Protein backbone atom coordinates (compact mmCIF):
# COMPACT_ATOMS: atom_id res chain seq x y z
CA UNK A 1 0.00 0.00 0.00
CA UNK A 2 1.43 3.36 -0.91
CA UNK A 3 1.08 6.46 1.19
CA UNK A 4 -0.61 9.62 0.12
CA UNK A 5 2.15 12.01 -1.03
CA UNK A 6 1.24 14.50 1.72
CA UNK A 7 1.37 11.90 4.51
CA UNK A 8 4.31 10.62 6.54
CA UNK A 9 4.52 6.95 7.59
CA UNK A 10 3.67 6.28 11.26
CA UNK A 11 4.56 3.04 12.97
CA UNK A 12 1.67 1.63 15.00
CA UNK A 13 1.89 -0.40 18.18
CA UNK A 14 -0.23 -3.51 17.60
CA UNK A 15 -1.49 -6.56 19.45
CA UNK A 16 -2.56 -9.77 17.73
CA UNK A 17 -5.24 -11.66 19.66
CA UNK A 18 -6.48 -15.21 19.18
CA UNK A 19 -10.12 -15.50 20.28
CA UNK A 20 -10.94 -19.18 19.95
CA UNK A 21 -11.59 -22.14 22.18
CA UNK A 22 -9.91 -24.53 19.71
CA UNK A 23 -6.76 -22.59 18.76
CA UNK A 24 -3.71 -21.48 20.68
CA UNK A 25 -1.34 -18.67 19.60
CA UNK A 26 1.52 -21.19 19.35
CA UNK A 27 -0.32 -23.40 16.82
CA UNK A 28 -2.41 -20.80 14.96
CA UNK A 29 -0.64 -19.98 11.67
CA UNK A 30 -2.73 -16.84 11.11
CA UNK A 31 -1.23 -15.25 14.25
CA UNK A 32 2.30 -15.77 12.94
CA UNK A 33 1.41 -14.50 9.46
CA UNK A 34 -0.36 -11.41 10.83
CA UNK A 35 2.56 -10.57 13.14
CA UNK A 36 5.06 -11.01 10.29
CA UNK A 37 3.07 -8.81 7.89
CA UNK A 38 2.72 -6.04 10.48
CA UNK A 39 6.41 -6.12 11.36
CA UNK A 40 7.62 -6.18 7.74
CA UNK A 41 5.53 -3.06 7.10
CA UNK A 42 7.26 -1.25 9.96
CA UNK A 43 4.75 -1.68 12.78
CA UNK A 44 5.53 -2.83 16.34
CA UNK A 45 4.03 -5.82 18.14
CA UNK A 46 3.37 -4.52 21.66
CA UNK A 47 1.62 -7.56 23.12
How much is the pLDDT for 2?
67
Cα–Cα dist 33/17, whole Å: 13
Is residue 1 over pLDDT 70? no
Domain borders along the chain are 15-45
How much is the pLDDT for 9?
87
End-to-end distance of the chain based on CA atoms, in angstroms? 24
5-47 pLDDT, tens digit each? 888 889 999 999 888 888 877 788 888 899 999 999 999 999 7
Amino acid sequence: MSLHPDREFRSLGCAVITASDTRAPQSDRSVHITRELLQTQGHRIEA
